[in-house]
Amino acid sequence: MTERADRFTTTDPAELLARARQLCEPGLRDALASLPEPLSTMAAYQFGWCEPDGTPTQAGWGKGLRAALALAAATACGSNPTAAAPAAIAVELLHNFTLVHDDVMDGDRLRRGRPTIWCVWGIPDAICLGDALHASAAQILVTWLPNTVAADAVARLETATAELCRGQSEDYAFETRSGVGVKDYLAMATNKTGTLMGCACALGALCTGADTATIEALDTFGRRLGLAFQIVDDLLGVWGDPTVTGKPAGADLIRRTQSFPVVAALESKNAAAAQLSQLYRSDRPITHRQAARAAADLDAAGDKQATQQQAQQWVSAALAALPEQMAASDLITLAYLVAHRDW
Amino acid sequence: MTERADRFTTTDPAELLARARQLCEPGLRDALASLPEPLSTMAAYQFGWCEPDGTPTQAGWGKGLRAALALAAATACGSNPTAAAPAAIAVELLHNFTLVHDDVMDGDRLRRGRPTIWCVWGIPDAICLGDALHASAAQILVTWLPNTVAADAVARLETATAELCRGQSEDYAFETRSGVGVKDYLAMATNKTGTLMGCACALGALCTGADTATIEALDTFGRRLGLAFQIVDDLLGVWGDPTVTGKPAGADLIRRTQSFPVVAALESKNAAAAQLSQLYRSDRPITHRQAARAAADLDAAGDKQATQQQAQQWVSAALAALPEQMAASDLITLAYLVAHRDW
B interface test, pick of A165, A168, A172 with most B CB neighbours within 10 Å: A165
B39, B127, B129: residue with CB nearest A127: B127
C-alpha triplet A93, B162, B187: angle, nearest 5°: 155
Contacts A159 to B, Cβ<8 Å? 135, 139
Domains within chain A, CATH numbers bracketed:
2-340 (1.10.600.10)
pLDDT in tens, A220-270: 999 999 999 999 999 999 999 888 877 777 889 998 999 999 999 999 998
Residue spans of chain A under pLDDT 50: 1-10
For residue A35, give the chain B residue with the closest CA. B162
Using DSSP's 3-state secondary structure scheme, residue B295 falls into helix
Size of interface A-B (CB pairs under 8 A): 163
- Whole-number average pLDDT of chain B: 93
Q: Pick from A79, A205, A229, A82: which is nearest to A149 by CA?
A: A205
pLDDT at B1: 41
Please give the Cα distance from B96 to B52 (Å, whole number). 17
Strand partners, B114: B111
For residue B128, give the chain A residue with the closest CA. A165
A106, A161, A173: residue with CB nearest B135: A161
CB contact under 8 A, B165 and A39: yes
CB contact under 8 A, A165 and B131: yes
pLDDT in tens, B227-271: 999 999 999 999 998 888 777 778 899 989 999 999 999 999 988
A interface test, pick of B120, B158, B188 with most A CB neighbours within 10 Å: B158
Say if residue B8's pLDDT is above 70.
Answer: no
pLDDT at A225: 98
Q: How remote is the C-alpha of A226 from its chain's centroid?
A: 7
B36, B151, B162: residue with CB nearest A163: B36
pLDDT at A113: 86
Three-state SS sequence of chain A:
CHHHHHHCCCCCHHHHHHHHHHHHHHHHHHHHHCCCCCHHHHHHHHCCCECCCCCECCCCCCCCHHHHHHHHHHHHCCCCHHHHHHHHHHHHHHHHHHHHHHHHHHCCCEECCEECHHHHHCHHHHHHHHHHHHHHHHHHHHHHCCHHHHHHHHHHHHHHHHHHHHHHHHHHHHCCCCCCCHHHHHHHHHHHHHHHHHHHHHHHHHHCCCCHHHHHHHHHHHHHHHHHHHHHHHHHHHHCCHHHHCCCCCHHHHCCCCCHHHHHHHHHCCCCHHHHHHHHHCCCCCCHHHHHHHHHHHHHCCHHHHHHHHHHHHHHHHHHCCCCCCCCHHHHHHHHHHHHCCC
Which helix H or strand E contains B111, and what residues bound it?
strand B110-111
CB contact under 8 A, B191 and A36: yes
C-alpha triplet B241, B244, B248: angle, nearest 5°: 55
| pLDDT confidence band for B61 (50 / 70 / 90) | confident
Mean pLDDT, residues B300-315 taken together: 96
pLDDT at B266: 94
Are the C-beta atoms of residues A223 and A194 closer than 8 Å to each other? yes
C-alpha triplet A85, A91, A96: angle, nearest 5°: 130
CB contact under 8 A, A36 and B158: no
What is the 8-class DSSP label of residue B181? -
pLDDT at A115: 95
Instruction: Please state the φ and ψ torsions of residue B115, each to the nearest 5 degrees.
Output: -55, 140
pLDDT at B3: 42
CB contact under 8 A, A131 and B134: yes
pLDDT at B177: 83
Question: A246 CA to chain B: closest CA distance, Å?
Answer: 25
Are the C-beta atoms of residues B208 and B289 closer than 8 Å to each other? no
CB contact under 8 A, B147 and A148: yes
CB atoms within 10 A of CB A60: 14
For residue B148, give the chain A residue with the closest CA. A147
Question: Counting every residue, how long is chain A?
Answer: 343
A122, A136, A169: residue with CB nearest B38: A169
Are the C-beta atoms of residues A326 and A4 closer than 8 Å to each other? no
pLDDT in tens, B92-119: 999 999 999 999 998 989 888 899 999 9
Question: A137 CA to chain B: closest CA distance, Å?
Answer: 9
CB contact under 8 A, B132 and A161: yes
Phi-psi sector, B80: left (phi>0), alpha (psi -120 to 50), beta: beta
Mean pLDDT, residues B74-78 taken together: 96
Look at B126 and A2; give whichever has higher pLDDT. Answer: B126
CB contact under 8 A, A166 and B36: yes
- Burial (CB < 10 A; 0-12, 13-18, 19+), residue B258, is buried
Look at B24 and B36; give whichever has higher pLDDT. Answer: B24
CB contact under 8 A, A125 and B155: no
CB contact under 8 A, A134 and B134: yes
CB contact under 8 A, B147 and A142: no
pLDDT at B249: 78
**Can you tell me the ipTM of this complex?**
0.92
